[in-house]
Each structure stands twice: as structure tokens, then as C-alpha cells.
A = this chain, B = another copy of it.
Amino acid sequence: MTVSNVLNNRPNVSEATRARVQEAIQRTGYTVNLAARGLAGGRTNTVGMLVPDLSTQYMGEIVRGASDEVRRSGMEMLISTASDITRERNQVTFLQGITDGLLLLLPRTPDETLVVLEQAGVPVVVIDHRGSKIMLPSVDVDNYSGARLAVEHLLALGHRRIGLVSGPKGYGASSARLQGYKEALLAAGLPFDKTLVVPGDFLQPGGFSAGKKLLSLREPPTAIFAASDLMAFGVMEAIKERGLRVPQDISVIGFDDIPMASQVYPPLTTIRQPLYQMGVAAARMMIAMLRGVKPPLSRITLPTELVERASTGRAAGAPPAPTPHLLQRSRRLDKEKEVVDEPS
């Protein structure tokens, strides 16, 4: 009826009736029922996002980027957590009907689940998924190159015995970073020593115990590369607990560049993943799909970047002269602000 026209401010309503309707809305406290609108209109103007949890800044940043971008385009965003894989399936169908498309940040979802979705015709963008075979629109980060950057940085500082706290098995990011670590060593003519690789879980306590393990080797490393910032924090604490100093005694480098990385002491040298930007990119792909535009790239891999702070330094026995490249410190400051006008 005419009310619908008023609500969606469409033409062909006189100012008089428009005002009359507005008044009635005010008086009765009416609000649209979005379920009904979605049912009738065939679209909900809402995109859903599924994340494993919300307790790390890592997720927070990606979600923030995606949310901001979705809203910027006039749509709304609904978030839901899917802790275990059995649940994910339910979750996905649960969002059906109330969203137009799904952003999936589920690093361990089996391909099979994704295929089902695609066949059902649900627009889906996958974020940070292990290198799956199926070609779904996805946003990833160059984990391999990032790991190489990290190790090469340590090598350039003169370190020769470099420990790795790796991510848990089953994540694409874990194996890519391990691969980068291995090949960086290889390229430098160093042997791969299995005892220097300790598995972690991407979380801080896991990094702490992994760090202790590395420190209690008969010949401990002079530098440690942790495959996540959270684990790097844990490693730094293990080092402090042992009475050693970062970076004078042991250098530590992380991966992710979560906001906290610049706020701990000493500030963490790390490999930056453009987390906010990943969310933005995923949201943009989704919006393009919903508008019927086939996105030019269906798979985006964003670059990583070394962010040099204070947790890495020259190896004890190494020659003191730094190579020129080490002098130019990274100058980046929340680069996404430039790119997408992030509202502060």
C-alpha cells in the first residue's frame, strides 16, 4: 500500500499523505518487520558473517573491516560464531533466508561444505581459507612470502639458529608459513633442523610453552619466529621468565600485526597481514556479486609486509655492520586508512 511507498521513500505519494503516514508511524510506534520484507522482496539487504570466535583481535579486525564496508554500501551485517565444524553446517543454513550472502571466516571448514553452499546458489566469499581446490571467491594472504620475509629478516640480522613456533596442523596458513620458513633457510644454505620447530596453537599460552621448549634445548636458537603475534607474546614471556632480554639475548618476530603488537613491550617486530583490508576486500567482492557484477578477480591474495619494531636485533656473534636495507624501517601507520577511508 501507500505506507510501503512512504517507508521506502518512493515517488507518487503526496506530501500530505506522506506526512500523515509519518505521523501514524510515530504515534503507533511502528517498525518494519524485516523477516516479512525479506520474504516478500526476495532480498534482505543483509550479509551474514560466520567466524569461529570473537576473542582475538585477529577476528575483530577482519570483522570490523567487513562490517564497515558492508555498511558503507548501505547494507547491514549480521555476525554469528561457529565454534565447531558440526555446528558450522547448521549455522550456515541458519543464516539462510535472513541474509543475501555469506562471508565465511572458517579456516578449517571442509571443502565439501563449501561446495554444498555453492550448489545451493548462495553467494559466498571465503576468507583466509586453507588452499582449497574448489574455486570459490576468496580473500587470502600470502602466508608463504610472509614467512620468508620474517626468516630473511632474521638472517639479515646475522641469526643462524632460528626457531619456529608453528601453527596447528590443518590450517592452510600453518603449512604455508612452515614452507616459507624452510625455503628461506634453504635459500640461505642453512640446514632444516626439525628440533627447532615446535608446534603451537596460534594462541598465547601455546606460544609460552613452545617458547620454553625452545629455550631448554641444549643449543637454543638466537631468534624465534612465531607464526602468530599471540604466540610471539607467549614466547617473549617465556624469555623474560628465564631472565633473558628481548632482543639483546633473543630476537622474536611474530605474524599478523594485530593492534596489540605495537603496544606490548618491547614492541613486536612482525609480518603484517592487512586484516582490516581483508575484511573490506571480502565485503566488496560480496557486494559486487549481489549486484550481479562478476568480480574481476574471484581470488584475491593480499601481500604481507615486514613491520620492524624493537623485538628483533643483531645476533650476538654476528658482525655489527647492518646492511643498508635494515636501516630503512617500515613507516606504515594503519595503511588501510589511506586505502578505504576508514572512519576513525
Using a CB–CB distance below 8 Å, which chain A residues touch chain B? 29, 31-39, 44, 53-57, 59-61, 63-64, 67, 76-81, 93-98, 116, 119-120, 204-205, 208, 233-234, 236-237, 240-241, 259-260, 263-265
Contact = CB atoms under 8 A, between A and B. Distances in A.
A59 to B, nearest CB: 7
Contact of A80 (B37, B56, B79): B79
Secondary structure at the A interface, as helix, strand, loop or mixed, is: helix
B77 A78 contact: no
Contacts of A119: 29
A142 B116 CA distance: 49
Given A34-B94, A67-B81, 18 more contacts: A29-B119, A29-B120, A31-B93, A31-B96, A32-B96, A34-B97, A34-B98, A35-B36, A35-B39, A36-B97, A54-B64, A55-B64, A78-B79, A79-B79, A204-B260, A237-B264, A237-B265, A240-B265
Nearest to A36: B39
Contacts of A44: 35
CB-CB nearest 5 A-B residue pairs: A33-B97, A55-B60, A34-B97, A35-B35, A79-B79
A196 to B, nearest CB: 24
